[in-house]
Amino acid sequence: MIANIVMYSNSTAVVYNVLPPSIKDLDDVLAFLFVGSAPSTMQDFSCMPMLVRRNVIKEALECLMVNYVDYYDLQILTDNLKDYPLLGIPVQVISKLVSEGEGNVLASELSIHGNEPEKGTNSGMCPFTVNRVTGEELNTMSAETMKAIALWHLEG
């Protein structure tokens, strides 16, 4: 198993005085795409850095308020926090099933000396790669369009 993260540049002009964002707002800026030969399971998710625990979010926000002057007046929206899972992924999981043995390495990435179709690990934490997508046209794209471009980017 291996993970890829596609990240779009975001405006940093917005300063949040109220956190966490609603699940709906989070779904507009975050997508989780699972690619595999079988549907994803909680065991798969436990190996990836996407699991969220509601109480850990609350503790992290409280830590920011106490330890960082920029967050002293942060308002924690408990109504939004209640919508986050006790343990899980706070956004929709988009699944793309591939054929068994298809692998997670593009043919163009294989060397003539190595033809291993898989990268990653079978146990422990899943390694991941961060890919950043930038450009002026991102300012006018919808969240759904960005998700489609991220999928295209991962398919190579």
pLDDT, tens only, 105-123: 555 555 566 656 556 566 6
**Average pLDDT of the residues of the chain:** 75
- As a whole number of angstroms, the longest Cα–Cα distance in the chain is 58
Calculate Rg over the CA atoms of the chain: 18
> Which residue has better confidence, 61 or 120?
61
* pLDDT of residue 25 exceeding 80: yes
Please count the residues of the chain: 156
- Read off the pLDDT of each residue in 92-109 and give the average, rounded to a whole number: 66
> Which residue type is seen at 58?
K
> Which residue has better confidence, 27 or 120?
27
* pLDDT of residue 102 exceeding 80: no
* pLDDT of residue 93 exceeding 70: yes
pLDDT of amino acid 58: 94
> Residue 146: which pLDDT band, with cuts at 50, 70 and 90?
confident
How far apart, in whole angstroms, are the C-alpha atoms of residue 125 and residue 111?
26
pLDDT of amino acid 13: 47
pLDDT of amino acid 57: 92
